[in-house]
Every structure is written in structure tokens, then in C-alpha cells.
């Protein structure tokens, strides 16, 4: 049955499928400390279901095994590195929407063998990196991201909790060794120690999860990033083993290749049309244009001033305030 499950996962396009025993996740206590220290920032939903996150049995009573799946999304070279930068995972379709139908097929398979299941793609109350490490998908790198010796850092994780008792796989040894490249690459020093991330300093958090103003001291560190940050992931030497994904759904859509000024001119409807089905739609026009203003403030020239002056009068105060900041930065440089 396990062999048939692996075959099914392979046919659905998952690069890896391995099994973890469903016990208490090894970093449960550390996760609670991290929450207590406020490192989750405004991600209050993490604290709200902390009990469930640290106990798979509270998510699915009677759970015995966790099927962990990895989907490769490495696309090769960046399409246009001169433009505003979007994290690779968000270059096209929202992976949640993409993975869920695949998970449903895994769940149906397990159900046919008598199991009860819950499947999640980053959306569930599960410390998924812990179980992925237990299952031997990879090890938890010093950046806190999972590193796979086969896929590097460029893969999505998903998991199916099941009441079936499946033979667990072996974890992999930690192969970070003396490397500290991910820590050195972080522009904001958000990786405060090996395996420890302060989300409040992380540019992925600031550009996506933060719904309000970006703290002024962090704005210059955003560079040209407009959605997420890949620096610590890109620094990992294990990426040399990454293979280009055959999945067209992850290849960059034209909308992520536009210039910062073109993005700044988007109205609500244009924004929704361009980013339909993309993770970027989550932060809405107000969040995206806020980030675009900061990126222009960091990388723009006098030629960008007229577009920013229009944005400084945007009816959305968040955009207007960040446009004013960007105007000041460019004028200061000029």
C-alpha cells in the first residue's frame, strides 16, 4: 500500500512523498517560546491555534501517520532581474489552489484503505517543517527553511494526516555543517541565530503579512522587493541540486515582469485581473502598491517622480504615505 501511495504521489507530480509518525512535533516547546517572545508579529492566528499546532491528535483524533509531500517549483533563471522582485513561489498560480486537488486524490486513496484524513498545504494548524524533517524530506536549515538534498530550497510542502498506521521513513542528518550563508545573506538580520527567525524583521512578513505601514527603518532594506524575499533560500549551496520544474503553473506570468511604474499605475480592477489566481492577490492593491512605492523609493530615479506624485494623492492612505516616503528618498538622492 505504501508503494502504491508513493506511485500515486509521483503521478500527481510530487517530487517527494515520505511518512512521519504523528507524535508531538519536536519543536513544540520552541514554537511556544517563539510565540511568547512576540516573534510572530501580527500573525495572531498562529497563537490562536497553538494547542492544535503542537498536537496533531487535536487536529485529527486518532491520527497515526503524516504523509508529507514536496512539490518542486524551481523555475531556473529569473525572467527580468532588473524589475521589482517577486518571490519565486508567487510568480504564477497560488500553490494552495494548485495542490489541494492533488491532496484530495491522496486522501481518497487513503480513505479507500480505511483511513480518515485531513490534508493541508501550508494552511493547517500543523508544524509542517517538523514533520517534513521527521519524514526525511530534508532537514531544517539554519534559516529555518527545510533543505532537501534533492530539491534544495525550492519546494512547497503539503501533508495529509491519516488514522492509518503507515511505516515511517527515516529522518535525514543535518548537513548544514559550518555553513552560515543564509544568515549572512539576510538583509535585515531576521535570522537572529541558527534556526531562529524573528518574523517581524523578515521582509517576507513585512511585504505580505503586515497589513499596515512598513516600519521606516526597514524600508531601505527592502531594495526592489515587492512581494516576499528569497535571499536566504537563494544563498543555500544545496540549491545546486535543484532541477527545473516541468510545471507550467509555476512559470512567471507576464504580470510579474512589469516595471515598478506600470504596477504603480494599476487601478483596483486592473490589479484584480492581472493577479487573478496568484498569491499576490492576497495583499490586495493597497498592500502591493505600498510595496511598489517602497521599491521605487529605493531604486527609482527622477523619471519616477511624476508617477509617485500621482500615487501620493491616492485615496488609499497607506499607498499615499509610502509614495510620499519614496518621493523624499528619490529627491534626497537627486
Per-residue x/- marks for ligand SF4, 146-175, CB under 6 A?
A: -x----------------------------
Task: Kindly write out the interface string for residues 176-215 of this chain, putting x where it contacts ligand SF4 by CB under 6 A and - elsewhere.
Answer: x--xxxx--xxxx-xx-----x----xxx-----------
Query: Which residue number, 25 or 141, has a Cβ lying nearer to ligand SF4?
Result: 141
Beta-carbon neighbour count of residue 266 at 10 Å? 19
CB of 139 to ligand SF4, least distance (A): 8
Nearer to ligand SF4, 35 or 234 (CB): 234
Host H or E run for residue 119: strand 117-120
Known active-site residue 122: yes
3-state secondary structure of 140: strand
Strand 146-147 relative to strand 139-140, pairing: antiparallel
Q: How far apart are CA 9 and CA 58, in angstroms?
A: 26
Q: Does 222 bind ligand SF4 (CB under 6 A)?
A: no
- We find the least distance from the C-beta atom of residue 197 to ligand SF4, in angstroms, to be 6
| DSSP-derived 3-state class of residue 78 | coil
**Nearest distance from C-beta of residue 75 to ligand SF4, angstroms:** 18
The dihedral of CA 39, 45, 51, 55: what is its sign?
Answer: negative
Which of 238, 263, 275, 325 is close enough to bind ligand SF4 by CB under 6 A?
238
CA distances from 250 to 93, 100, 157, 211, 279 (A): 6, 15, 15, 26, 11
Residues within the interface to ligand SF4 (CB under 6 A): 141-143, 147, 176, 179-182, 185-188, 190-191, 197, 202-204, 229, 231-232, 235-238
Q: Give the residue numbers marked as catalytic.
A: 122
Amino acid at each position: 500500500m505504501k508503494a502504491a501511495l508513493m506511485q500515486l504521489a509521483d503521478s500527481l507530480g510530487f517530487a517527494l512523498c515520505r511518512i512521519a509518525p504523528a507524535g508531538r512535533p519536536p519543536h513544540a516547546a520552541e514554537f511556544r517560546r517563539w510565540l511568547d517572545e512576540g516573534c510572530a508579529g501580527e500573525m495572531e492566528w498562529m497563537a490562536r491555534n497553538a494547542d492544535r499546532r503542537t498536537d496533531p491528535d487535536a487536529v485529527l483524533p486518532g491520527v497515526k501517520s503524516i504523509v508529507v509531500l514536496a512539490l518542486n517549483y524551481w523555475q531556473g533563471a529569473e525572467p527580468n532581474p532588473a524589475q521589482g522582485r517577486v518571490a519565486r513561489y508567487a510568480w504564477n498560480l497560488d500553490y494552495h489552489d494548485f495542490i489541494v486537488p492533488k491532496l484530495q486524490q491522496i486522501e481518497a486513496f487513503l480513505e479507500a484503505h480505511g483511513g480518515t484524513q485531513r490534508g493541508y498545504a501550508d494552511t493547517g494548524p500543523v508544524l509542517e517543517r517538523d514533520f517534513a524533517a521527521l519524514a526525511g524530506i530534508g532537514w531544517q536549515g539554519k534559516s529555518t527553511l527545510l533543505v532537501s538534498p534533492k530539491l534544495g530550497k525550492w519546494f512547497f510542502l503539503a501533508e495529509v494526516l491519516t488514522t492509518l498506521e503507515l511505516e515511517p521513513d527515516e529522518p535525514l542528518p543535518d548537513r548544514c555543517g559550518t555553513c552560515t550563508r543564509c544568515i549572512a545573506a539576510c538583509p535585515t538580520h531576521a535570522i537572529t541565530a541558527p534556526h531562529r527567525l524573528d518574523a517581524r524583521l523578515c521582509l517576507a512578513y513585512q511585504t505580505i503579512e503586515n497589513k499596515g505601514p512598513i516600519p521606516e527603518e526597514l524600508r531601505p532594506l527592502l531594495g526592489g522587493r515587492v512581494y516576499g524575499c528569497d535571499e536566504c533560500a537563494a544563498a543555500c549551496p544545496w540549491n545546486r541540486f535543484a532541477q527545473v520544474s516541468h510545471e507550467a503553473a509555476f512559470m512567471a506570468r507576464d504580470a510579474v515582469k512589469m516595471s515598478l511604474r506600470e504596477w504603480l499605475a494599476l487601478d483596483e480592477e486592473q490589479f484584480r485581473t492581472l493577479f487573478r489566481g496568484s498569491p499576490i492577490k492576497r495583499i490586495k492593491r493597497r498592500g502591493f502598491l505600498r510595496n511598489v512605492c517602497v521599491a521605487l523609493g529605493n531604486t527609482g530615479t527622477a523619471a519616477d517622480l511624476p508617477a509617485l506624485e500621482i500615487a501620493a494623492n491616492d485615496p488609499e492612505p497607506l499607498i499615499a504615505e509610502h509614495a510620499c516616503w519614496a518621493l523624499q528618498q528619490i529627491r534626497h538622492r537627486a
